[in-house]
Structure 1
Amino acid sequence: MAKEKDNVVNDDEIINEEVLNSDNIDEEEGEDVLKEDLDETEQLKNSLAILQADFMNFKNRIEKEKSQSIALANEGLILKLLPILDDLERGYEHKQESNEFTEGIKIIIDNFKEVLSREGLEEIKSNNMPFDHNLHQAILMEPSDEYDSGTIMETFQKGYKLNNKVIRPSMVKVSE
């Protein structure tokens, strides 16, 4: 009987060991599942962050394209209006006398320039300036004792920049 008690105790110990081992297995499996859930959560967070960044980049790109489209539309219209401004200025420069009519033309020219300026148009300075092939187009080159070499002597047609982009270079005469 004593042996039987020992066997029973041994059987109980074996059962307890199996329970403990099975608990350890469940804990290990639980830790693995928890690690997998954490990994999956991190992956989802990373994916969400990437999607948010992609969306912000997309939104910024669309806004930039929209503003460029508006600027390009304005550029085409302004290029069509510049010859009218040139004609008005030439007419005003060749006036015979100053009277109410010519002063009215001057007011129209000033208003026209102001509206174009608000849209980002800027006149390129040229007379007595050093020649810059990015801003000016040399029509004539002429030797001069009065001007340094490479200096603009005369402007035949004004040049303009729209939002810092040259849309029409100045046509000029340059000293050699």
Structure 2
Amino acid sequence: MIKNKKEKQEKVTEIKIKESEDSTAEIPNEQEPETNEELNRIAELENQAALYKDQYLRTAAEFENYKRRTDAERTEFFAYAGERVLSDMLPVLDDFDRTMESFDKSHDKDALKKGIDLVYAKFRSVLEKQGLKPMKSDGTQFDVNLHEAILQQPDEEKEPETVLNTVEKGYYLKDKVLRHAKVVVSSKPE
């Protein structure tokens, strides 16, 4: 009986081995080595992927360089933004120096007044060349976009909210309000 059992186990084992050999024999048929055409296609796609990755990395590096360069240019621009204005102001500064030297030597008030008038005219000319224009406010209607009312004063002769007096001039830089004019505005008498 033991012999019989052993024989049965051996037969079962043989059958299992045969079945496994048959099943493994089928597997290679299902996973046949790829053809040259498929291998070439895979190699081509890998090359294309590598090319796209390289292009991506180069583009990313170029963009980082662009950001660094524009940041540096912007920093330099703001650091030297007033350069043109200051270079235009140097002759005015030179004139002030000459006026002060001549006053120290002569103490002539008329000559000093004339020198200061010339320097003032040159200074205004430089500012106008940069686009600075004074605002004309006296006698105009009060406008919150142009004026800052610091005082209201009753006035029977003027229409209410008319600018009576400019305490501090307002200025335009080209078409933009650079500084609002500080003004005294008329109101209805009580």
Task: With the length of structure 1 as denominator, give the TM-score of the two structures.
Answer: 0.53
**After superposition, where does 1:56-135 map in structure 2 within 5 Å?**
56-71=66-81, 102-119=113-130, 121-135=132-146
115-124 or 135-144, larger mean C-alpha shift: 115-124
Match of 2:150 in 1: 139
- Which residue among 29, 42, 55 is the counterpart of 1:32? 42
Match of 1:171 among 166, 182, 187: 182
Q: Which stretch of structure 1 is more off in the superposition, 141-150 or 35-44?
A: 141-150
Contact 2:165 2:185 in 1 (8 A): yes
Q: Which has the larger Rg?
A: 2
Structure 2: unaligned runs, 5 residues or longer: 1-31, 90-109
Look up the SS of the partner of 1:60 in the other structure.
helix
Q: Which amino acid aligns with 2:154?
A: P
Which structure is richer in relative contact order (CA contacts within 8 A, separation 6 or more)? 1
TM-score (norm 2): 0.50
Structure 1 residue 111: Cα displacement: 0.3
The residue number in structure 2 matching 1:41 is 51
Structure 1 spans left out of the alignment, 5+ residues: 1-20, 79-98
Cα 1:138–1:108 change in 2 (3 A) is same
What residue in structure 2 maps to residue 17 of structure 1?
none
* Equivalent pairs, count: 134
Mapped to 2, the partners of 1:173 and 1:117 lie a distance apart of 26
Identity, % of aligned positions: 26
> Which letter maps to 1:35?
L
- What residue number does 2:101 align with? none
